Every structure is written in C-alpha cells, then in structure tokens.
Amino acid sequence: MGDPRHPVPARERGRIAPAKFAHCVIRTKQFDSVVTWYKTVLEAEPIFENPMVCFMTYDEEHHRIAVANIPTLVDRPDNAVGLDHMAFTYDGLDDLLRTYCRLRDTGITPSTCIHHGPTLSLYYLDPDRNQVELQIDAFDETREMMEWIAGGQFASNPIGVLFDVEDLVKRWESGEPVEQLKKPLTGPFPGPDAFAPH
C-alpha cells in the first residue's frame, strides 16, 4: 500500500483509468430556469440548444453540463439517496470571490459556506435544489495539503468549519493577504447535515 500523503495516479500504477472527468447531465422539468442558472453561475455558453436539451461549456471541452427537458419528472425529496453535489474549482480566491460577488448581485447566493481544510467552498442550490460547489484549493501544492491532512486536524473534523462569506469578502477587499484568507480554520464540527440542501 502506498503513502496516502503521496497518492500515485492510477496510470502510474499500471491501471487503465479515465483521462478526465467529462460532464454532468441534469434532468429537469424547469428547463428554461435550470439552463439559465447554469449559464449564469458557470459563465457557460451553449454549443447546442433546442427545447429538448442544452449542451453547454465554459472551457475547451465540447460540453461540461447538459440539461435535459423532461416535463413528466417528479420532485426528488431532500432525504433521497444519490449524488450529493458537483464541484467546480477556480484558479484562486480572487476568482472565487469575484464570482461570489457577481452572483450575489444577480440574487444568487450560497446556501452554505464551509472551509473544509483542503478546500474553501461555497455551496449553491440550482432551481431543482441540486447542489453545486464552487471552490478553491486552500493549499498551493497537493503535497502541502496531504501533509496537513496527515497532521490529524482533518481526522478530527472531516467536514470543516462554517464561515461568513461576506466577512471574507470585506477582509479580501481590505487587502488582507490571500494566503491568510484561505488558511484552514479551526472550529467545531458542524454535523453531517451541514451542507445538505436546506
């Protein structure tokens, strides 16, 4: 067994693994609202769109999100099993907080803000209450993050610490160093339902 602080990619272990994670497909009966939400939140552009389906991307991939219009669907209860959330990583804190401010000014705000330790994360709910995490890595190097995890703090609180994003924005706008702003927080375990849809 390898050192968990230095995970070896599957291909380097002689395994055949995917080259990348390609896309997510979302089923909805609120087609227009859901499509507009993902276009807005992810700054995505459609590569194909008709009344049945929309394929969109925000980067060089041909599509990252597809939304399928299925008017006969029924609502899923919050306590159902299934995928918990999709996560999208930004290059740095500046991009994440600029995105937060842009979305806030359109009325889209996070349902939960958690500093997990390895990541600083804003959780949003789309019109169907699917969770979307916008995040940054709190460490510049994977090695640093794995060493922090091995130090034991993550084991005592693997969920993280809730934080006030508006306070973080004020500190950022005042010029506080980014390294300080993204530093892992200490605090109480918020419970397993901390980032369940609510």
Q: Say if residue 165 is in the same domain as residue 118.
A: yes
- Each of the 198 residues of the chain gets a pLDDT tens digit; together they read 456 567 788 989 999 999 999 999 999 999 999 999 999 999 999 999 999 999 999 999 999 999 999 999 999 998 899 999 999 999 999 999 999 999 999 999 999 999 999 999 999 999 999 999 999 999 999 888 888 888 888 888 889 999 999 999 999 999 999 999 999 888 777 666 665 665
> Residue written as tokens 């067994």?
1
Q: Is residue 181 one of the residues assigned to a domain?
A: yes
Q: Say if residue 105 is in the same domain as residue 172.
A: yes
Count: domains in the chain: 2
| Structure confidence at residue 1 (pLDDT) | 47
Task: CATH number of the domain at 57, please.
Answer: 3.10.180.10
Q: Say if residue 88 is in the same domain as residue 182.
A: yes
Q: Residue 16 carries which side chain, given as an amino acid letter?
A: I
Q: Domain span at residue 47?
A: 21-73
**In this structure, what DSSP letter does residue 98 have?**
H
Please answer whether residues 92 and 139 qualify as being in contact, where contact means their C-beta atoms are separated by less than 8 angstroms: no
Residue 82: C-alpha distances to residues 85, 88, 124 (Å):
9, 19, 17
Burial-class residue 170 by CB neighbours within 10 Å (0-12, 13-18, 19+). Answer: exposed
Residue 58: C-alpha distances to residues 16, 65, 85 (Å):
28, 9, 18
Q: Say if residue 119 is in the same domain as residue 197.
A: yes
**pTM for the whole structure:** 0.91
List, in order, residues 6 or more apart from 192 with CB less than 8 Å away: 159
Q: Provide the 3-class DSSP secondary structure of residue 53.
A: strand
Q: Is residue 12 one of the residues assigned to a domain?
A: no
C-alpha to C-alpha distance for 11 and 168, rounded to whole angstroms: 39
Alpha-carbon Rg for the chain in angstroms: 18
Task: CATH number of the domain at 103, please.
Answer: 3.30.720.110
Please answer whether residues 101 and 83 qualify as being in contact, where contact means their C-beta atoms are separated by less than 8 angstroms: no
Q: Say if residue 122 is in the same domain as residue 65.
A: no
